[in-house]
Amino acid sequence: MLILPEGLTLQGTSAAPRGRGIVATRVFRPGERLSIALGARFGSSFSITAREGGGHKAECKVFKRVRAEGHDFLPTPVRALVQGLLRPEMIAEVQGHVGGFRRASGKLWADTELQAMAALHYLGRETNARSLAEAIEVSCKLQVNSFNRLDEDVGQTGLFMNPHLAMVNHSCIPNAFVQFISRQAVLHAYREINKDEEVEISYIAPDVENLQDYQESSLGTNESLGATVEKIFPLFSNSLVGLNESDKQKQLCQGWTACKPFLDSHTPAHAVEPLPSVLLDATVYFGEQGNFTSALSICCFLATQVDPYKAAAPFAPQRVKGLLMIAKLLSNTAPADPHPSLSSIKTLTLGKSLWGGISKVLGKMDQATVCQVLLELVVYYAPAAHSKEWALFRAAKDLLDDIEALQDREMEDALVKAFLRNPNGAEERLFFEQVVLGPIRELSAFCFDVMDNEFGSKP
């Protein structure tokens, strides 16, 4: 029997169209934690990181056999299946929908069978019809109910399984989200959740199906946006990680060219994947080159034209990270030199005309004050997005300390503090619009020119 945290209850039956679901028994505020699931090996859940060594006694025998056969580690799905077979009580409550997997593509079912046989082999169990059926059922349960874990701080990926989190149903417009912190999975309210309202999360990243207004919008080619996404998405299956600079640029050129129809849509489609991912990859590319000015323009565009549509809550992790990134990039684009050296990377890549426009915006903005406001917002929203233990929260606090140590900023500091105390006040709002948001929007306006300059068609 599942024991849920206070404030949550399980309703429905496995026979219902949506199955069972988690319902709130009280009101949860936006950003509030609904539950924390621990990924301890001996608890009611487990967390597995790729290439991680074994720590459970029963797993030790498995890893001895793995090493004896000349392997360094088990693939994550097989290791998760081993855990599930060792602790069947942990997944007894969840459904596997084996029939659906059997009717799926041949490769999916074949992979499931292979993983089941591998797990039985390394556990030293006989592979017969009964044991294979049991292993396949556990594998299907894990595939349906586990989470792909991504730690925000260290970037480790893996698998997280917890029975009560598995009961949270999917919605394209979720009211909650799961955040991974080390071996914890924290369920946060995305917006206010009322008493007796079902708690729902999105099982997938926002995409064109979640932005229904975009699907029927026509492009310059008279092709629907949804059809364009389906056509070009296969081009974006490869990561830039591990590529040399030339190959990164080539892949970004291909991606930017493929995304051009999004810019011609009669309905703004900037938040529809894969365009945001191409822009994000471009910021990393420019950052690696030391071209912080170009990266800044793109980050400002993402923060103002993309993230608010993909993640409406201001404390959404990606939005908080975006604010910190802008603050960091601003600190690396310190008052612009009106006559930069021609040997400068950013000058050569941007070109004099484009550099001049961005330089003009940077030259007239109060970068320290903009940074201070952005960092204060990060510090305010980070606990709801993650926790005060988040490395991002600590980094923002350290940068704030540096800004507050600057001399002769008493007036600017007073304006920032006044805005934080009363962000909806008329004067305070005017300060934010003119001093902070205005320059950020001006910088964001250069985004497409920056992308065209670096990744557009070359004469």
Rounded CA-CA distance 13/11 in Å is 7
Which is more confident, 344 or 172?
Answer: 172
* pTM (whole model) above 0.85: no
In a shared domain, residues 231 and 312: yes
Query: Which pair of tokens denotes residue 436?
Result: 């902070």
In a shared domain, residues 187 and 216: no
Q: Is residue 110 part of a domain?
A: yes
In a shared domain, residues 32 and 118: yes
In a shared domain, residues 335 and 222: yes
User: 113: domain CATH number?
Assistant: 3.90.1410.10
The reported pLDDT for the residue numbered 226 is 63
Residue 183's CB: how many other CB atoms inside 10 A? Answer: 20
Which is more confident, 264 or 189?
Answer: 189
Among 151, 181, 201, where does a domain finish? 201
The reported pLDDT for the residue numbered 294 is 93
Q: Is residue 21 part of a domain?
A: yes
User: Mean pLDDT throughout 47-72?
Assistant: 69
In a shared domain, residues 301 and 172: no
| Residue 44 near residue 90, CB atoms below 8 Å | yes
Among 152, 179, 201, where does a domain finish? 201
Please tell me the total count of domains within the chain: 2
Q: What is the mean pLDDT of the chain?
A: 79
In a shared domain, residues 316 and 416: yes
Q: What is the four-CA torsion angle of 55, 94, 108, 39, rounded to 10 degrees?
A: -30
Report how far Cα 328 is from the mean position of its chain's Cα atoms.
19
Q: What percent of the chain has pLDDT over 70?
A: 76
Which is more confident, 178 or 196?
Answer: 196
In a shared domain, residues 177 and 43: yes
Which residue from 317, 313, 330, 318 is spatially nearest to 373, judged by alpha carbons?
330
The highest-confidence range among 2-16, 169-183, 402-416, by mean pLDDT, is 402-416
In a shared domain, residues 74 and 151: yes
For residue range 360-372, list pLDDT tens digits in order: 999 999 999 999 9
Q: Is residue 386 part of a domain?
A: yes
User: Mean pLDDT throughout 4-17?
Assistant: 80
Among 178, 201, 224, where does a domain finish? 201
pLDDT band at 258 (very low <50, low <70, confident <90, very high): confident
* Structural domain of 265: 208-455
Query: Which pair of tokens denotes residue 110?
Result: 């074949």
Q: Is residue 393 part of a domain?
A: yes
User: Which long-range CB contacts under 8 A does 307-316 form with residues at least 24 apart?
Assistant: 307/271, 309/211, 309/270, 309/271, 310/206, 310/271, 310/276, 311/206, 312/191, 313/30, 313/31, 313/190, 313/191, 314/377, 314/381, 315/30, 315/31, 315/381, 315/382, 315/384, 315/385, 316/177, 316/190, 316/385
Rounded CA-CA distance 415/412 in Å is 5
Burial (CB count <10 Å: 0-12, 13-18, 19+), residue 364: exposed
The reported pLDDT for the residue numbered 211 is 31
The reported pLDDT for the residue numbered 433 is 92
For residue range 377-394, list pLDDT tens digits in order: 999 999 888 888 899 999
User: Mean pLDDT throughout 261-267?
Assistant: 66
In a shared domain, residues 319 and 378: yes
In a shared domain, residues 187 and 283: no
For residue range 217-246, list pLDDT tens digits in order: 334 444 566 666 666 666 665 678 788 889
In a shared domain, residues 218 and 170: no
The reported pLDDT for the residue numbered 299 is 96
**Amino acid (1-letter code) at residue 199:** V
Q: How far is CA 327 from CA 117, 229, 245, 322, in A?
A: 51, 32, 26, 9
Q: Is the pLDDT of residue 25 over 90?
A: yes
Q: Is residue 3 part of a domain?
A: no
In a shared domain, residues 218 and 128: no
For residue range 286-326, list pLDDT tens digits in order: 999 999 999 999 999 999 988 887 777 788 888 999 999 99
Q: Is residue 406 part of a domain?
A: yes
What contacts 331, CB < 8 A, 6 or more positions away?
Answer: 367, 371, 399
